[in-house]
Amino acid sequence: METRIAYMKVAPGAYKAMLGLEEYLHQCGLDHPCLIWSSFGHRR
């Protein structure tokens, strides 16, 4: 599938912030259903 927007080029700060939030959520101890709800549809 072709990428529609190159997020790292368009808004690198926002992209890094999203990755940081996702990393925090995975380390904070929330159970799996809460992590899925909070992922905002973002997948690496």
Whole-model pTM: value is 0.56
For 1-44, what is each residue's pLDDT tens digit? 776 888 889 999 998 998 898 888 888 887 777 767 666 555 54
pLDDT at site 37: 65
pLDDT at site 12: 94
Q: In 3D, which of 15, 16, 14, 38 has the Cα closest to residue 25? A: 38
pLDDT at site 44: 47
pLDDT at site 17: 92
C-alpha–C-alpha distance, residues 23 and 1, integer Å: 25
